[in-house]
């Protein structure tokens, strides 16, 4: 994985000291909250319902054991013994003190981590396929391209005050495991006639106006990769709306201009930028790529002993095919039935770090599904890994099932939320686990957001739930048919909302319709697409 | 009644105006709604306290007092703020009000 060079480290260290001074001045009354707020947000420090919240960037979700141990240390020393992994492959701490914030950033800097650009109207953490570097189906490892974009976008002087926040995802396979087309810019690294290049999508997003990004260029040569991205951002920065924050995302610009006109303007800017010479030298990409060279895989057994049914189920559910046939990628579920999606204790973080060191070439990933991943596990070691995970409460075999729920922090933590998300996730996962229906239902992606900002990706859920405030009471809108994968689609609302008990029952009714209607091997999403909304509405409202 | 709430500048902890300072307990909150008797109004208190950095991001909210004498913020968001995350009650504010969690949602 990438290691900081002297410039990276110097920039991060300088930012820590800059923030230390800013925080000191705030505490001494030399800065008002209005003056300080944009400064703390630039360093990922929010003020949430109960305390300050710090969001730490995990670039493209990749980290090593010592970094995970630092995250554990921070949870213990400065927070309350846990952290929350997010849908953008970051981690958030919920109980931070302002007077500790600079010390936390300094600790993070010692392991090449920071919280820069995890908030504010700038280019945020670049996300990627959590199986990058391991997936059997990838064209190349997308992370060198994500890292190049990270370096380009970090402290970019022109893009520090964009009309609104800006999220980029980079993948390199036909399968989309990063919700690529629901990002402001989505990049798919492809090979055409043997040449590696980038396919660009722009104008996707969730939030109050969900949109699927159209493709804006089918092939950008690698020696023009950053120049093209720069052109996309320049057009947005120039014409994105600044008069209305709800219309300020690039998706609105692309929609209002029309994709063809946005593309025309980007191409015009691109042609201009090619004459300016902003593209980093190809040697820089090559230098970065060296950090992502595959580990020294060795041959070994390709099958496991399936005599333990619990282990066999976990292997079936939570492992993913690896490019080397003696290895798999192993998903560490942060979704125990009745648990809080994405939360991990400091002890669990330490255990995961130890397993990464022992069994996965010192590599870990944070998945946008709020789980963790050991990307390179020898099949021969799987039972030992599973045993250790199970003992730590991390052995749930539920990847991509209805128990593998994405849920934002919701009204339990977030100052923007209108309703609580986590209790719903807890009740639904418990209900399905108790009744044994999880296995019967199979793949079903349920996503819950506590407000229209859609941090819980409800628009992209096979089943989505949106919490709203209805005359001071929590109310939940149910939607069906979304997908953030390569078959991307936006979910449609079923009808009137439900109270908390009602929406849990409604999810069960929806799965009843699915089970009664599915054909052999058909996923929930495919059944919904075949039979449409009506049978579900009849079951819910008649 | 109208009460004042905010976050402690240093710790970020939720606090409530008790008439002379900021308390961690919602039950200590006092009514600042009646400034007709010459007492300070909400805006004056907020301006003074924030300028003195004794509270951050403070605002006034509607609340009521229940039959047992407990202060109940009107909005669900402030009720959650009063006691802590409903899903991590072990991390919430410890209060003598045994019925506390019953009225949050």
Confidence band of A446 (pLDDT split at 50, 70, 90)? very high
Number of Cβ within 10 Å of residue A354's Cβ equals: 15
Cα distances from A307 to residues A186, A313, A377, A383, A516, in angstroms, run 43, 11, 20, 11, 32
Q: In angstroms, rounded to a whole number, what is the distance separating the alpha carbons of residues A455 and B29?
A: 33
Confidence of residue B105 (pLDDT cuts 50, 70, 90): confident
The reply to whether residue A49 touches residue B53, judged by beta carbons under 8 angstroms, is no
pLDDT of residue A284: 94
Q: What is the phi/psi pair of residue A68, to 5°?
A: -65, -35
Q: What is the mean pLDDT of residues A40-47?
A: 97
Q: CB of A254 within 8 A of CB of A260?
A: no
Query: Is A204 in the same domain as A229?
Result: yes
Mean pLDDT for the stretch of residues A110-132: 97
* A87 Cβ contact list (under 8 Å, min separation 6): A368, A369, A370, A406, A408, A455, A456, A457
pLDDT, position B98: 67
Both tokens of residue B71? 């202060």
Verify that A159 and A214 share a domain, yes or no.
yes
Q: Number of structural domains, chain A? A: 4
Q: What is the mean pLDDT of chain A?
A: 97
| Residue A119 CB-half CA count within 13 A | 18
Can you give the CATH number for the domain in which A442 is found? 3.30.413.10
Candidates A22, A27, A50, partner chain B, best to mutate (most B CBs within 10 A): A50
- What is the span of the domain harbouring residue A37? 6-109
Question: A284 and A158 share a domain?
Answer: yes
Is 70 exceeded by the pLDDT of residue A91?
yes
| A51–chain B Cβ distance below 8 A for any pair | yes
What is the bridge-based pairing of β-strands A52-56 and A82-85?
unpaired
CA–CA dist B47, A108 (Å, integer): 36
Q: According to the model, what pLDDT value does residue B6 have?
A: 98
Q: Quickly state the pLDDT bin for B96 (edges 50, 70, 90).
A: low
Take residue A47 and report the two structure tokens written for it.
């003020």
Place of tokens 């924030």: B50
- CB within 8 A of A425, min separation 6: which ones? A340, A341, A405, A407, A448
| Residue A371 and residue A427 in one domain | no
Q: Provide the H-helix boundaries in A136-240.
A: 143-153, 225-239
pLDDT score recorded for residue B53: 93
Do A474 and B84 count as a contact with CB atoms less than 8 A apart? no
Residues A256 and A319 occupy one common structural domain? no
> Percentage of residues in chain A with pLDDT exceeding 90?
100
CA-to-CA distance for A458 and A480, rounded, in angstroms?
9
In whole angstroms, what is the distance from residue A371 CA to residue A331 CA? Answer: 7
Q: Are strands B14-17 and B22-23 parallel, antiparallel or unpaired?
A: antiparallel
Distance CA A335, CA A180 (A): 23
Residue B68's pLDDT is what? 86
Residues in chain A with CB shorter than 8 Å from the CB of B88 are 340, 412
> Does A82 map to a domain?
yes
Does the beta-carbon distance from A96 to B12 stay under 8 Å? yes
For residues B30 and B18, the answer to whether their CB atoms sit within 8 Å is: yes
Contacts (Cβ under 8 Å, ≥6 apart) of A118: A44, A55, A56, A57, A90, A124, A125
A126 part of a folded domain: no
Question: Measuring CA to CA, which residue among A453, A452, A426, A450 is closest to residue A507?
Answer: A426
Give me the residues paired with residue A170 across strands.
A128, A187
End residue of a domain, out of A391, A417, A445: A391
Confidence of residue A481 (pLDDT cuts 50, 70, 90): very high
**Do the beta carbons of residue A366 and residue A91 sit within 8 Å?**
yes
Any alpha helices (H) in A392-482, and if so which ranges? 422-435, 437-441
How many angstroms separate the CA atoms of A466 and A445, rounded? 14
- Residue A303 counted as domain residue: no
Whether residue A194 is found in the same domain as residue A52: no
Q: What is the ipTM of this complex?
A: 0.94
What's the rounded Cα separation, in Å, for the pair A527 and B5?
50
Range of weakest confidence among A43-57, A240-254, A413-427, B82-96: B82-96
Together in a domain, A411 and A530 = yes
Q: What is the mean pLDDT of residues A291-315?
A: 97
**What is the pLDDT at residue A140?**
97
| Test mutation, B5, B77, B83, B84, chain A, max A CBs within 10 A | B77
Q: What's the CA gap between B76 and A346, in Å, rounded?
A: 30
Residue range B8-31: average pLDDT?
A: 96
Residue B90: closest C-alpha in chain A: A80
pLDDT at A349: 98
| Residue A108 reports pLDDT greater than 90 | yes
CA distance A219 to A199: 5
Contacts of A381 (CB under 8 A, 6+ apart): A359
Chain B residue closest to A426 (CA)?
B87
pLDDT of res. B92: 87
Q: Which is more confidently placed, A238 or B33?
A: A238
Angle between helices A250-257 and A225-239 (to 10 degrees): 80
A164 and A40, same structural domain? Answer: no
Give the position of tokens 């690294």: A189
Same domain as A193, residue A278: yes
Percent of chain A with pLDDT over 70: 100
Going by C-beta distance under 8 Å and a sequence separation of 6 or more, which residues neighbour residue A18? none
Q: Determine, yes or no, domain membership for A117.
A: no
Residue A280 and residue A324 in one domain: no
In a domain, A277, yes or no: yes
Residues making up chain A, counted from first to last: 542
Kindly report the number of other CB atoms within 10 A of residue B37's CB atom.
Answer: 5
A33 touches chain B (CB under 8 A): yes
Q: Are residues A284 and A144 in the same domain?
A: yes
Q: Which pLDDT tens digit goes with each residue over B39-71?
A: 788 999 999 999 999 999 999 999 999 988 899
**Structure confidence at residue B36 (pLDDT):** 63
User: pLDDT tens, A178-233?
Assistant: 999 999 999 999 999 999 999 999 999 999 999 999 999 999 999 999 999 999 99
Kindly state the average pLDDT of the residues A375-402.
98
Q: Is the pLDDT of residue B99 over 80?
A: no
CB A505 within 8 A of CB A478: no
Among the partner-chain residues B9, B11, B76, the one whose CB lies closest to the CB of A411 is B76
What band does B37 get if pLDDT is binned at 50, 70 and 90? low
Per-residue pLDDT reduced to its tens digit, A231-272: 999 999 999 999 999 999 999 999 999 999 999 999 999 999
pLDDT-derived band at B93, boundaries 50, 70, 90: confident
**Interface probe, candidates A29, A40, A49, chain B, greatest B C-beta count within 10 A:** A49
Flag whether residue B14 sits within 8 Å of chain A, measured between CB atoms: yes
In contact, A278 and A307? CB cutoff 8 Å: no
Kindly identify which residue of chain B lies nearest to residue A25, measuring between CA atoms: B53
Mean pLDDT score across all residues of chain B: 90
If asked whether residues A240 and A340 sit together in one domain, one would say no
CA-CA-CA-CA torsion sign (A347, A349, A353, A356): positive
Predicted TM-score of the model (pTM)? 0.97
Q: What is the pLDDT of residues A490-520, one digit of tens each?
A: 999 999 999 999 999 999 999 999 999 999 9
Question: Please, which residues 338-357 of chain A have a Cβ atom closer than 8 Å to chain B?
Answer: 340
- Residue identified by tokens 């109980």 is A95
Q: Is the dihedral of CA A99, A102, A106, A108 positive or negative?
A: positive
Residue from the list A97, A426, A473 with its beta carbon closest to the beta carbon of B12: A97
Q: Copy the structure tokens of residue A247.
A: 């219309």
Cα(B14)–Cα(A540) distance, integer angstroms? 40
CATH number of the domain that A15 lies in? Answer: 3.90.480.20
Residues 6+ apart with CB under 8 A from A143: A1, A2, A60, A62, A128, A132, A133, A170, A292
């Amino acid at each position: 994985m990438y290691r900081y060079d002297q410039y990276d480290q110097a920039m991060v260290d300088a930012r820590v000291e800059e923030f230390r001074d800013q925080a000191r001045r705030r505490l001494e009354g030399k800065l008002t909250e209005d003056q300080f707020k944009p400064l703390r947000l630039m360093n990922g420090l929010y003020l949430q319902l109960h305390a300050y919240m710090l969001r730490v960037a995990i670039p493209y979700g990749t980290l090593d054991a010592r970094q995970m141990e630092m995250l554990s240390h921070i949870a213990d020393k400065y927070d309350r013994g846990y952290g929350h992994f997010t849908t953008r492959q970051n981690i958030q701490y919920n109980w931070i003190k302002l007077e500790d914030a600079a010390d936390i950033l300094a600790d993070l800097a010692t392991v090449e981590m920071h919280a820069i650009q995890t908030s504010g109207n700038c280019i945020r953490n670049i996300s990627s396929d959590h199986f990058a570097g391991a997936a059997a189906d990838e064209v190349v490892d997308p992370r060198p391209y994500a890292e190049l974009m990270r370096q380009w976008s970090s402290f970019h002087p022109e893009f520090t005050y964009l009309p609104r926040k800006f999220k980029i995802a980079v993948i390199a396979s036909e399968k989309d495991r990063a919700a690529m087309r629901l990002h402001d810019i989505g990049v798919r690294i492809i090979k055409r006639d043997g040449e590696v290049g980038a396919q660009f999508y722009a104008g996707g997003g969730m939030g109050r106006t969900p949109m699927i990004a159209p493709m804006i260029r089918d092939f950008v040569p690698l020696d023009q990769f950053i120049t093209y991205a720069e052109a996309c951002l320049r057009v947005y920065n120039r014409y994105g709306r600044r008069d209305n924050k709800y219309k300020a995302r690039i998706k609105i610009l692309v929609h209002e201009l029309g994709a063809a006109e946005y593309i025309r303007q980007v191409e015009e800017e691109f042609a201009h930028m090619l004459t300016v010479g902003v593209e980093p030298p190809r040697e820089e990409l090559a230098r970065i790529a060296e950090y992502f060279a595959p580990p020294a895989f060795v041959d070994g057994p390709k099958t496991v002993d399936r005599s333990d049914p619990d282990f066999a189920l976990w292997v079936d559910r939570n492992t993913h095919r690896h490019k080397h046939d003696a290895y798999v990628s192993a998903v560490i579920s942060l979704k125990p039935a009745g648990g809080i999606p994405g939360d991990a204790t400091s002890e669990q973080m330490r255990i995961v770090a130890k397993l990464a060191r022992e069994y996965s070439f010192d590599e870990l990933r944070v998945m946008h599904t709020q789980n963790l991943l050991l990307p390179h596990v020898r099949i021969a070691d799987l039972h030992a890994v599973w045993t250790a995970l199970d003992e730590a409460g991390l052995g749930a075999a539920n990847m991509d099932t209805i128990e593998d729920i994405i849920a934002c922090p919701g009204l339990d933590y977030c100052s923007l939320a209108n309703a609580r998300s986590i209790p719903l996730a807890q009740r639904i996962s418990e209900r399905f686990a108790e009744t044994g229906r999880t296995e019967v239902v199979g793949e079903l992606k349920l996503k819950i957001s506590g407000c229209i900002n859609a941090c819980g990706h409800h628009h992209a859920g096979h089943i989505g739930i949106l919490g709203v405030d209805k005359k001071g009471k929590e109310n939940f809108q149910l939607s069906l048919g979304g997908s953030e994968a390569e078959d991307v689609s936006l979910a449609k609302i079923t009808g009137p909302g439900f109270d908390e008990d009602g929406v849990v029952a409604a999810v069960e009714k929806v799965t009843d319709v699915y089970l009664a209607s599915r054909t052999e091997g058909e996923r929930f999403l495919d059944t919904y697409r075949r039979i449409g909304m009506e049978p579900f509405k009849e079951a819910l409202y008649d | 009644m109208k009460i004042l709430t905010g976050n402690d500048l240093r710790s970020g902890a939720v606090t409530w105006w008790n008439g002379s300072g900021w308390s961690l307990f919602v039950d200590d909150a006092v009514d600042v709604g009646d400034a007709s008797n010459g007492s300070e109004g909400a805006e004056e208190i907020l301006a003074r306290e924030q300028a003195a950095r004794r509270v951050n991001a403070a605002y006034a909210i509607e609340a009521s007092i229940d039959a047992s004498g407990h202060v109940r913020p009107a909005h669900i968001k402030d009720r959650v703020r009063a006691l802590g995350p409903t899903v991590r009650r072990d991390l919430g504010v410890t209060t003598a009000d045994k019925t506390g969690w019953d009225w949050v949602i």
